[in-house]
Amino acid sequence: MSTYVVGDLHGQLPLFENLLEKISFSPQADRLIAAGDVIDRGAKVGELLERLYEGARAGWFLPVAGNHEEAFLQVRDGEDLPFYHDPEFGGTRTIESLNRLGHTRSRTLEGWLRSWPFSWSDSRHIVVHGGLPAVPGSSLGDIDLCATRISPSGSFHECVDLRPPHILPSWDGRLVISGHTIVRKARRRDGIVMVDTGAYRTGRLSAYCLETGRFHSVEGIPC
């Protein structure tokens, strides 16, 4: 059995299918975790969500929420987020894509999005979309986990080291895997694995295998 963590998908269903093929993904034997930002920007958001929803029901797909999922749900709840419809943020793509699926399917997927956790972890790994801020009172359910950006200066790593141990006792010794911050090549740096290679604009989608520590990526044309 292999467990893969894939970087920000942003509606890139064709690249996702290529990646599954490249890693010879077995829905019966393997698992795939998305490190957040599955929606927005791409043309196939609705179709991708349907594919992943079926994967979740079948047990092979595990989601982690990103800041784009958070923003979408806030808009759905009536909050005024002008940036959501900015082309760079790409929220309109999600709204249009879900509308095409019809009311019932759209509501089902929205309800599912509301259930996504901010992190996934086992005894050796923690997967979050953004970072793990050392803010007193923060926990693995903290909304900041999906928006904190890893700075090139390495402040994220300092956060890990400086976290209040009584608040996050299970942090120690675990490998952190995150998306959100685009890197040219998926890599492990300072003990942190960064898997977002900006598929929606670079055409490169990457994943990390927890069991082997290997990176896998595909390249194509973003939709």
Question: Given the rule CB under 5 A, which residues bind Mn ion?
Answer: 37, 66-67, 180
What would the 3-class secondary structure string for 98-158 be?
HHHHCHHHHHHHHHHHCCCCCEEECCCEEEECCCCCCCCCCCCCCHHHHCCCCCCCCHHHH
- Smallest CA-to-CA distance from 21 within 220, 210, 212 is with 220
Residue facing Mn ion at closest CB distance? 180
Nearer to Mn ion, 67 or 94 (CB): 67
Q: Closer to Mn ion at the Cβ: 10 or 44?
A: 10
Residue 42 CB-half CA count within 13 A: 29
CB of 68: closest distance to Mn ion in angstroms?
A: 6
Whole-number minimum distance, CB 33 to Mn ion, in Å?
15
| DSSP conformational letter for 33 | E
- Name the token pair of 96: 């249009």
Whole-number minimum distance, CB 142 to Mn ion, in Å?
15
CA 182 to chain centre: 12
User: Which one, 44 or 180, has the nearer CB to Mn ion?
Assistant: 180
Nearer to Mn ion, 97 or 178 (CB): 178
Rank residues 23 and 93 by Cβ distance to Mn ion and give the closer one.
93
Give the shortest CB-66-to-Mn ion separation in angstroms: 5
Minimum distance, C-beta of residue 196 to Mn ion, in the bound complex (Å): 8
Q: Is 51 exposed, middle or buried (0-12, 13-18, 19+ CB in 10 A)?
A: middle
